[in-house]
């Protein structure tokens, strides 16, 4: 097992310890969340843990079902006890995040906002010390993608429609939308950028998760887990 997998597993184990019996939790998407699901399944078998989960993607839902986790939704439980998710970038100083590489950013942001506590699980390579930078994923209504791309360019970004690796054509989200990855370099004012992007008609949501993370578990090469709190 590579150090990255060990680090992800360690951070997932740390986050799983936050889950209390009879809790209703939201689960994000991605490789580190897959480790969280395995940890929760083990706790169910060994400790008798009883929980209900709101998955943010079909992939996560399938993993939860395969692991015998009981599913629920935001209609039945509009307020969640905890959400656990990964991130593409974590700003060490602010705990602001960039998310969306997996394509489930809108549902993930809804679940994060619906939760009393939002825990993030990452390996140390996802932590940045000089502020957020690079590509910001944006979920876009298909009808408006051309206009949105033009407006993102006007804001100084370099947008690119995300294409599928397994078939010809764009990636389609679980909401039936497109994803545009907008390169902005260093994001000097993330709140302003997030606001300006969301003001563009046709933009559903951005991958800027600002002021949402309460705790970040960072799996390190040493095998230890660094805990960052807001």
The CA distance from 117 to 199, in Å, is 27
Active site includes 108? Answer: yes
Shared domain for 145 and 89, answered yes or no, is no
Shared domain for 16 and 118, answered yes or no, is yes
Looking from the CA of 78 toward its CB, the CA atoms found within 13 Å total 1
Cβ(82)–Cβ(19) below 8 Å: yes
Shared domain for 11 and 84, answered yes or no, is yes
Q: Work out the number of other CB atoms within 10 angstroms of the CB of residue 22.
A: 9
Shared domain for 71 and 140, answered yes or no, is no
Domain total of the chain: 2
What's the pTM?
A: 0.96
- What CATH number has the domain bearing residue 61? 3.40.50.1360
pLDDT tens, per residue, the chain with 230 residues: 799 999 999 999 999 999 999 999 999 999 999 999 999 999 999 999 999 999 999 999 999 999 999 999 999 999 999 999 999 999 999 999 999 999 999 999 999 999 999 999 999 999 999 999 999 999 999 999 999 999 999 999 999 999 988 778 999 999 999 999 999 999 999 999 999 999 999 999 999 999 999 999 999 999 999 999 98
Domain residues for the domain of 45 are 3-126+210-229
Q: 39, 61, 108, 205: which one is catalytic?
A: 108
Shared domain for 40 and 107, answered yes or no, is yes
Shared domain for 225 and 202, answered yes or no, is no
Shared domain for 200 and 223, answered yes or no, is no
């Amino acid at each position: 097992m590579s150090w990255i997998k060990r680090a992800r597993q360690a951070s997932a184990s740390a986050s799983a310890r936050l889950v209390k019996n009879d809790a209703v939790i939201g689960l994000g998407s991605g490789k580190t969340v897959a480790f969280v699901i395995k940890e929760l399944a083990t706790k169910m078998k060994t400790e008798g843990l009883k929980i209900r989960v709101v998955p943010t993607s079909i992939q996560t839902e399938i993993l939860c079902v395969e692991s015998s986790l009981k599913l629920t939704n935001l209609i039945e439980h509009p307020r969640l006890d905890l959400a656990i998710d990964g991130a593409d970038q974590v700003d060490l100083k602010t705990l602001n995040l960039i998310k969306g590489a997996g394509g489930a950013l809108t549902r993930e942001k809804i679940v994060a906002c619906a939760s009393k506590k939002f825990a993030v699980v990452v390996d140390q390579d996802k932590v940045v010390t000089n502020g957020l930078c690079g590509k910001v994923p944006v979920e876009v209504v298909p009808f408006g993608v051309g206009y949105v791309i033009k407006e993102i360019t006007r804001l100084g970004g370099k947008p690119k429609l995300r294409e599928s690796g397994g078939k010809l054509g764009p990636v389609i989200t679980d909401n039936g939308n497109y994803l545009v990855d907008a390169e902005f370099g260093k994001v000097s004012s993330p709140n302003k950028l997030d606001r300006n992007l969301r003001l563009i008609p046709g933009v559903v949501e951005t991958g800027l998760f600002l002021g949402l993370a309460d705790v970040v578990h960072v799996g390190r090469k040493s095998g230890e887990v660094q805990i960052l709190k807001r």
